[in-house]
Chain A
Amino acid sequence: MANIKAIDKKSKAQSMGMHTEVLTGRTQQKFFNPDEAENFYYFGTYDVDFNKRTELDVMNMSAPEANKEIDNLMSQGYGTIVIKNPQGKHSLGVGILNKLNLIFEGSLGYFGMGSCDGPIVRINGRVGWSCAENLMAGKVVIEKNAGSCFGAAIRGGDLICKGSVGARTGIDMKGGTIIIGGDAGAFTGFMMQRGRIIILGDVGINLGDSMYDGTIFVGGEIGSYGSDAVDSELTLSDQDWLRRKLKVAEIGEDFDVSKMKKIVAGKKLWNYDNLEPTEKKGAI
């Protein structure tokens, strides 16, 4: 196993699929200045107590009504909320910008958990298209299958599906990690710009098509490679990272990561030298 602590920062970042460690963007400099904590403030966020738990039955609620009630419960300090009877409704749990333990006892429709930043979510069912789109931080675990565009444009956090997912998983993703326990459909990693996708099963055609950057790890068979997607050497530090990630994700802990394939962009299509905030934290 590679000794990650012994590797200098630049090499470590490169081995994890990131090209440089140079920060130049003003926004990101602000993000990492602890003296400017006010820049982290989100309007409409709450300090919640994880030990304060409640249940919410959304059977007879519309999605806006259910989301408004979740917001209301967070404003009362509830830090653990169990949602009963989601019944495949669309757009549940969107726009949560603070830490929260959120558990769905059932399946979600389209755009579930979209535009979130921080919650820890467990969905004891299936999710439809575009689950956790634009996720900034936090963790979303799906116990069953997921639809297409899973984790579209996420910028951070961990998105885990224990079953199989549809097409275009991680499309346009800009950071974070997506982990799939089963198979994935066509165009996985389409136009991904940063971050990592791990697929333990098989993956469909056009894997990583037009990817700018980032890394895709595949445990099973690959239908075909997309334009500009190429194989790369699976390093020891990759394997170490994969083992740790799968363990934390409670998925495929016994999986032989040494036989996984690593796919990266064959060309440097654009200069994406500025790391996302969460990736910066992970690399340091």
Chain B
Amino acid sequence: MCGIAGLIHRGKSSNVGSELQGMLQALKHRGEDSTGYALYGDTDGKNFIMRFKVGENVGEGSSSVMEDVSVYDERKKIVDQTLAEMGAKIVKEERTLPYSLRYEIDFETKDLLDFSQRIESIPGVEILSMGKSLEVIKDLGNAKMVCDRYSLDKLVGTHAIGHARMATESGVDIKSAHPFWGYPFSDVSVVHNGQLTNYWNNRRVLENKGMRFMSECDSELIAVYIAQKMREGASLEEGMKDSLSGLDGVFTYFVATKDSLGMAKDTMAAKPLVLYESDDLVAMGSEEIAIRSVLPHEIDTYDPFDGEVKVWQI
């Protein structure tokens, strides 16, 4: 079933880590195989923040395997060496869990494609997010478990999207968890609720254009599809509108960039979404109870209509 939630503060920052945790925890009955956060924190914008994993946390149905920590250590060394070869300087390093790392990197580039391809050519290494504000954190368990594990409740920023997953068409592991980074675009992330029925057709086309897929989760297609449209010169909103006809199936999804948050709903309106919109805050989720966790007082909410696309700026 899955649940998605997102919020954007306009003109101010807030404790988005804690707020999104509350929203996703309210949706935990929609799935708690894994939970993911895409948080847009307040930074000075100088360095890239790279969240990546050097191993898996494995649950039911996953084709991945748990490995020894020494294997993770070896992969980390190769990542460090590759970064040095590319002239990227590690300014700050955090290893939250043996398989999950966060680097702040001093690196000048406008095209992350080559950078990402080199890092991910190291077996077992996957970049979860890359950007100057975005941080994607995802792991097995419900929202509170993941928030506590990664100490996300103190993160201050402008906007965030998240996903509570009930695994259906792919296994329980981090690589299949949402959000997905809009590879290779800096600061682009996607969460999705629904099923896409033309996944393989689109995937083959996009792979022929040089795009990469890390999982067999149909939701990853949305991130790659929109990233490809943006590579071809479309704006975020144009890419999202194009997806309404390009993607087949039922879906409601959110896309976030460094300074914006968007939603799209398929033409069948088969997946739920409740939306609250005011001058200083937009909050939305699969169910109203998610919004209630940040706005407990009486508010006006509504369901966006079929085929609707909306984008808000910070």
Question: In the complex, what residues of B have CB within 8 A of residue A126's CB?
Answer: 288, 300-302
Stretch of B9-17, B221-229, B267-275 with 4 or more beta carbons under 8 angstroms from chain A: B267-275
* Interface of B, helix, strand, loop or mixed by DSSP: loop
Instruction: Return A242 CB to nearest CB of chain B, in Å.
Output: 25
Inter-subunit contact B267/A186 (CB<8 Å):
yes
CB-based A-B contact count at 8 angstroms: 73
> Considering only CB atoms, which chain A residue lies closest to B288 in the complex?
A88
> Considering only CB atoms, which chain A residue lies closest to B296 in the complex?
A87
Q: What number of B residues sit within 8 Å (CB to CB) of A?
A: 20
Q: What number of A residues sit within 8 Å (CB to CB) of B?
A: 30
> Considering only CB atoms, which chain A residue lies closest to B291 in the complex?
A88
Instruction: Return B240 CB to nearest CB of chain A, in Å.
Output: 18
Instruction: Return A223 CB to nearest CB of chain B, in Å.
Output: 9
Interface 1/0s, chain B 298-314, versus A by CB < 8 A? 10111101110000000
Contact of A167 among B268, B287, B302 (CB under 8 A): B268
Instruction: Return B291 CB to nearest CB of chain A, in Å.
Output: 7
CA distance A147 to B289 in the complex (A): 13
Inter-subunit contact A167/B300 (CB<8 Å):
no
Inter-subunit contact A109/B267 (CB<8 Å):
no
Inter-subunit contact A205/B301 (CB<8 Å):
no
Question: In the complex, what residues of B have CB within 8 A of residue A187's CB?
Answer: 268-269
Known contacts A88-B291, A89-B289; decide if A148 and B301 are in contact (CB<8 Å): no
Inter-subunit contact A204/B301 (CB<8 Å):
no
Query: A residues 118-173 with Cβ under 8 Å of B?
Result: 125-126, 128-129, 144-148, 163-168
> Considering only CB atoms, which chain B residue lies closest to A164 in the complex?
B302
Inter-subunit contact B301/A166 (CB<8 Å):
no
Inter-subunit contact A166/B300 (CB<8 Å):
no
Inter-subunit contact B288/A128 (CB<8 Å):
yes
> Considering only CB atoms, which chain B residue lies closest to A125 in the complex?
B298
Question: In the complex, what residues of B have CB within 8 A of residue A164's CB?
Answer: 302
Inter-subunit contact A87/B289 (CB<8 Å):
yes
CA distance A264 to B157 in the complex (A): 52
Known contacts A87-B289, A109-B287, A126-B288; decide if A147 and B303 are in contact (CB<8 Å): yes
Inter-subunit contact B287/A163 (CB<8 Å):
no
Interface flag for A185 (CB, 8 Å):
yes
Question: In the complex, what residues of B have CB within 8 A of residue A110's CB?
Answer: 287
> Could you list 24 examples of A-B contacts with CB < 8 Å?
A87-B292, A88-B288, A88-B291, A88-B292, A105-B298, A107-B288, A109-B288, A109-B289, A125-B298, A128-B274, A147-B274, A163-B302, A164-B302, A165-B303, A166-B269, A166-B303, A167-B269, A185-B305, A186-B269, A186-B307, A187-B268, A187-B269, A204-B305, A205-B306
Q: Nearest 8 pairs between A and B by C-beta?
A: A88-B288, A167-B269, A166-B303, A186-B306, A145-B302, A88-B289, A88-B292, A185-B305
